[in-house]
Chains A and B, each alone.
Chain A
Amino acid sequence: MLTRYDRFEISLQRWLVRSSTPALYGIVWVWMRINRGYSIRNLSQVRNAFRSWAARGEGPILICSNHLTLVDSMLLIWALGTPLSYLLSPDLYPWNLPERRNFQKNLLLRALCYFGKCIPVMRGGPRDKSLKTLERIRYVLNSGDSVMIFPEGTRSRTGSVDTENFSYATGQILQGAPKARVLCVYIRGIRQKAYSDFPARQEEITVDLRPIRPRARGTGLRAAKEISTRVIRHLKAMEAAYDARHANNRQ
């Protein structure tokens, strides 16, 4: 159960993030677009598809994406909206769930994590801390904010969606946020063969969207497993569709 102080912390972070979004977005955009030369394929179509789908229904959005590079969440934030769209609809600017250890190295990374709207998670950490983090994620979702999660739990070591070693966190989150809508996202650079820290320079990145409704019949851990498995299967199917479209590039 979150305390009043926890909720205050979240509200404060939400407000500070909102104030700094245009500046941070701008800096990250310059790094991705100008320094690294990345481009998103059919960018305006992706944004329109996301915006119209988000506007059509009610309920917070859980964005579930495959994971191949350290900057996937930044790329997805770029792909799904502009600074203006996030200012007008701050709930669409998703909370991110990075591994705490990756952002504890120095003050700059911590600040980036905080202003990048992150709730740090600790894989395999103490149970009480994991439960508290889960409560925070459910709280922001139930407050109407979007959340972005990588259901595989880590960057895929095989380069493909890992259908064997994924975590059941997606299901656990959704069990506590029954009104949440799920958007599966498949992201991949055209030259991305395996996992890496960053996509290659000048990479053209494809972003595919697929809204789903992964519900489970049971309850508890079994339901969490079932929901998470369904999400992973959808991501795998999206990967198959991507592969079919880009067969020549991946050989």
Chain B
Amino acid sequence: MEKTDIMNQVIRLVTPYVKNAVALQQAGPETRILEDLGVNSARLVDIILDFEDTFKIAIDDQSADSVRSLGDAVQVIQSKLAC
């Protein structure tokens, strides 16, 4: 799967939890999920679980902890898809 496709999917999955809709419109790999998009930290778990379900992958706790930006999420998903 192409990086751009993964990014689009990631943005789609994050959208329901985003409080800062303006930041989402300009979102890129550097966009931080909690700080920039205003996602509640407790909901980050839901987002990770959504990634698992959508991409049919398993994300371990260590990888989940490394997800801070949209780019991090794409990287983690891409590495899991390659396994």
Interface positions of A (Cβ within 8 A of B):
123-124, 127, 131, 153, 165-169, 220-222, 224-225
Distance in angstroms from A1 CB to nearest chain B CB is: 14
Distance in angstroms from A169 CB to nearest chain B CB is: 8
Interface positions of B (Cβ within 8 A of A):
34, 40-43, 45-46, 48-49, 52, 59-61, 64-65
Contacts A127-B65, A165-B40, A220-B60; is A225 near B45 (CB within 8 Å)?
yes
A224 to B42, Cβ gap below 8 A? Answer: no
A225 to B34, Cβ gap below 8 A? Answer: no
Distance in angstroms from B83 CB to nearest chain A CB is: 16
Chain B residues within 8 Å of A169, by CB: 42
Distance in angstroms from A237 CB to nearest chain B CB is: 21
Name B43's closest neighbour in chain A (CB-CB).
Answer: A165
A220 to B61, Cβ gap below 8 A? Answer: yes
Q: How far is the CA of A170 from the CA of B75 in the complex (A)?
A: 29
Distance in angstroms from B50 CB to nearest chain A CB is: 11
Distance in angstroms from B17 CB to nearest chain A CB is: 10
B34, B40, B48: the one within 8 Å of A221 (CB): B48
6 smallest A-B Cβ distances: which pairs?
A: A167-B42, A124-B41, A221-B45, A168-B45, A127-B65, A221-B48
A225 to B40, Cβ gap below 8 A? Answer: no
Name B67's closest neighbour in chain A (CB-CB).
Answer: A127
What are 13 A-B interface contacts by the 8 Å CB criterion? A124-B34, A124-B40, A124-B41, A127-B65, A131-B65, A165-B40, A165-B43, A167-B41, A167-B42, A168-B45, A169-B42, A221-B64, A225-B49
Name A225's closest neighbour in chain B (CB-CB).
Answer: B45
Chain B residues within 8 Å of A225, by CB: 45-46, 49
Distance in angstroms from B51 CB to nearest chain A CB is: 11
A168 to B42, Cβ gap below 8 A? Answer: yes
Chain B residues within 8 Å of A165, by CB: 40, 42-43
Distance in angstroms from B42 CB to nearest chain A CB is: 4
Chain A residues within 8 Å of B61, by CB: 220-221
Most chain A CB inside 10 Å of its own CB: which residue of B41, B46, B64:
B41
Distance in angstroms from A127 CB to nearest chain B CB is: 5
B41 to A123, Cβ gap below 8 A? Answer: yes
Distance in angstroms from A148 CB to nearest chain B CB is: 19
Chain B residues within 8 Å of A222, by CB: 49, 52
B49 to A221, Cβ gap below 8 A? Answer: yes
